[in-house]
Amino acid sequence: MKIALLLILFLPVHAVGQTRAQELERQRVEYQKQLAPEKATRVEDLLRRLKDEKILERINYGYNGLSAKVGGMVTGGGFALGPQYFRDDLKGGALTVRAAAQISFRNYQKAEAQLLLPKLAGGRMYLDLRATHRNYPGINYYGPGPDSARLRTNYRLEDTCEAGRRSRVAGRECRAGARQPLCLG
């Protein structure tokens, strides 16, 4: 009688354990049948294509110095696009020229020009001349610091800045120079 009682008590536990293991194995097999590779969204496909085919790098590199300048406008100005001419290989690297103009979809405008002579006086001096014109219809201003009131205001910015910088190379890694900005508001 004791043996029969022990068999009745332990047999169902052993059988349930086998059934649970079989059930888990069956679920595992069904789950593996349903597995499929992840599908990327259209946006992910587009971004991956832009990266893999280096489309943006090719646009930015341009042809013979002429390229597209994308972004780089003030925050809130919107998406900006325009032409850029950049050459740093003129006169054997002794002359660098850059000119760019941009306009955003919110009509923010920016024009820049730069002339750099990095190898004057046998490489001991250099001269960097720059000019920038900005016409921004509205720039958000939140106050002079973190303790200012939470009020926001908006102002227009239109200015032209010219800057010249000349330097003398004092050593292998040391330059000393002066920068002279001139901004006309």
pLDDT at 108 over 90: yes
Residue with tokens 């003129």: 90
Measure the CA–CA gap between 110 and 71, rounded to whole angstroms: 11
Is the whole model's pTM more than 0.75, yes or no?
no
In a 13 Å sphere around the CA of 182, the CA atoms on its Cβ side amount to 8
Residue 178: Cβ within 10 Å count: 9
Q: Which residue has the higher pLDDT, 24 or 154?
A: 24
pLDDT tens-digit series, residues 70-100: 888 888 888 999 999 999 888 888 899 999 9
SS3 146: coil
Most confident listed range (14-18, 46-50, 95-99): 95-99
Measure the CA–CA gap between 154 and 159, rounded to whole angstroms: 16
120-134 mean pLDDT: 87
Q: Which residue has the higher pLDDT, 33 or 184?
A: 33
Measure the CA–CA gap between 138 and 22, rounded to whole angstroms: 69
Residue 104 has which token pair?
A: 């955003």
Measure the CA–CA gap between 166 and 172, rounded to whole angstroms: 17
Which H helix or E strand runs over 97? strand 95-104
Cα–Cα nearest to 112, from 128, 91, 92: 128
